Amino acid sequence: MKKHFLLFLLLIGSQVLVAQKKTPSVYTPDNGNGTFTNPLMWGDWPDPDIIRVDDYFYFVSTSMHYVPGSPVARSRDLVNWEMAGYAVPKYEEDPRYDMKGGNAYLKGSWANTIRYHNGTFYVGFCTPRSSATDPGNFSICTAKDPKGPWTRTIFKEYLYDPGLFFDDDGKVYVAHGQEKLFITELNADALSVKTPQKEIYNNRKFPYLEGSHTYKINGKYYLLGSTGGTTGRQICLRADDIYGPYEAKEIINDDHTYPGNGLHQGGMVQLKDGSWWFIIMQDRGPIGRVPNLEPVTWVDGWPMLGDKGKGVETFKKPDVGKTYPITVPATSDEFSAAKLGLQWQWNHNPDDQKWSLNERKGYLRLKAGKATKLSEARNTLTQRVQGPQSSGTVEIDVTALKDGNVAGFGIFQFPYAFVAVQQKAGQKSIVMMNADSLVTTVPFTGNKLWVKANVTHIGYTASFAYSTDGKKYQTIGNTLNMALGLDWTANRFALFNYSTGDSGIGGYADFNWFRFDDK
**Domains in the chain, CATH or no CATH each:** 26-316 (2.115.10.20), 345-517 (2.60.120.200)
Length of the chain: 519
Q: In angstroms, rounded to a whole number, what is the distance separating the alpha carbons of residues 443 and 89? A: 40
Q: How far is CA 480 from CA 392, 411, 451, in A?
A: 15, 8, 15
Contact in structure between 491 and 287 (CB atoms under 8 Å): yes
Sequence letter at residue 416: Y
What are the 10-residue block averages of pLDDT along the chain, 519 residues in total?
A: 39 35 73 97 97 98 97 98 98 96 95 98 92 84 97 96 98 97 98 98 94 98 96 97 98 95 97 98 96 98 97 98 96 97 98 98 98 98 97 98 98 98 97 98 97 97 98 98 96 98 96 95
The torsion defined by the Cα of 423, 424, 427 and 429, in degrees rounded to 10, comes to: -50
**Candidate list 30, 44, 49, 210, residue with the active-site label:** 210
The answer to whether the peptide bond before residue 245 is cis (omega within 30 degrees of 0) is yes
Report d(CA 110, CA 64) in Å as an integer: 6
pLDDT score, position 130: 72
User: What's the CA gap between 437 and 419, in Å, rounded?
Assistant: 12
> What pLDDT is attached to residue 508?
98
**What burial class does residue 8 get, using C-beta atoms within 10 Å of its C-beta: 0-12 exposed, 13-18 middle, 19+ buried?**
exposed
Burial tier of 12 (Cβ tally within 10 Å: 0-12, 13-18, 19+): exposed
> Is 185 a known active-site residue?
no
Torsion sign across C-alpha atoms 350, 354, 357, 363: negative
State the alpha helices, DSSP H only, in 231-305.
none
Residues near 51 by beta carbon (within 8 Å), at least 6 away in sequence = 57, 58, 114, 115, 116, 267, 269
Q: Cα separation of 113 and 50, whole Å?
A: 8
pLDDT at residue 3 in the model: 41
Choosing from 30, 47, 77, 510, the catalytic residue is 47
Whole-angstrom distance, CA of residue 430 vs CA of residue 210 = 46
CA dihedral (34, 36, 41, 42) positive or negative: negative
pLDDT of 519? 82
Would you call 47 a catalytic residue per the annotation? yes
